[in-house]
Amino acid sequence: MLTKLKKKIQTALTVEAIAAHRIGLTPNRISGIGIILAFLSAFTYAEWQGKSVYLILATILLLFSGFCDALDGIVARLFQEATPFGGFLDSLLDRYADAAVYMGIILGGLCEASWGFVALVGSLLVSYSRARAEATGIRMESVGLAERAERMIILVIASIVAFFWNPFESMNAGIVLLALLSNLTVLQRSLYAYSKLKKKENY
């Protein structure tokens, strides 16, 4: 859904990408920093133990991780450093980052474990459904309600609300919403892929 906005953000981050390149940050290094920040965010969620300030810290770390995720691709494109392995590594690290953050929230007792696992599985399958579809030549960008950017925004909003009001209820509501939207996105992508493959078969 936020694909057009994402492209505008990528354009706006050109200055930051140039600065990162000047200090020697390659796309893979930026991806590495991003996954470290995601794991720190996950650890902070897991260790919050009623300390609301931890929720804000976890949110800030999550946002910086997302910033790195956007920046590595911009640097790769601007300076012709994009490689097939780089794309593979970036996608792989994103999955680890997503899984770590969800697990941190679950282990921190900030949501019902069952809903947390449903959201986690849905998040991973959103990415898997895109990868499988694009392996058959079907473009999946912008297909579905909850791509990675949307999921991150929901988590950030839920975390901010949790800082001010009932952490468990706020975070659990966000996780339930993510569970529903991510799995709905998998269904949307499955139906989209089915229709496209059917048309190919009929040619």
pLDDT tens figures, 21-46: 888 888 888 889 999 999 999 999 99
CATH homologous superfamily, domain 3-202: CDP-alcohol phosphotransferase transmembrane (TM) domain (1.20.120.1760)
Mean pLDDT score, 170-182: 95
Quick check: 187 pLDDT over 90? yes
Helices (H), 144-166: 148-164
Mean pLDDT score, 167-186: 94
Query: For residue 155, what pLDDT band results from cuts at 50, 70 and 90?
Result: very high
Active-site residues, by number, are: 94
The per-residue pLDDT for 140 is 79
d(CA 78, CA 66): 19
Quick check: 9 pLDDT over 80? no
Tokens of 126: 């959103």
Cα 70 to chain centroid distance, Å, stands at 10
Query: For residue 81, what pLDDT band results from cuts at 50, 70 and 90?
Result: confident
The per-residue pLDDT for 85 is 82
Range in 72-81, 96-105, 179-188 the model is least confident about: 72-81
Quick check: 1 pLDDT over 70? no
Quick check: 70 pLDDT over 90? no
Query: For residue 124, what pLDDT band results from cuts at 50, 70 and 90?
Result: very high
Mean pLDDT across the chain, nearest whole number?
Answer: 86
Quick check: 65 pLDDT over 90? yes
| % residues pLDDT > 70 (the chain) | 93
d(CA 189, CA 133): 8
Residues 6 or more apart from 162 whose CB is under 8 A from it?
Answer: 52, 55, 110, 168, 170, 171, 174
pTM: 0.87
- DSSP secondary structure letter of residue 83: -
Quick check: 166 pLDDT over 60? yes
Closest CA to 93 of 130, 114, 67, 65: 65
d(CA 45, CA 51): 10
Query: For residue 203, what pLDDT band results from cuts at 50, 70 and 90?
Result: low
d(CA 193, CA 28): 31
Q: List C-alpha distances in Å: 80 to 14, 17, 83.
A: 14, 13, 9
3-state class of 51 per DSSP?
coil
Mean pLDDT score, 117-131: 91
Mean pLDDT score, 142-146: 80
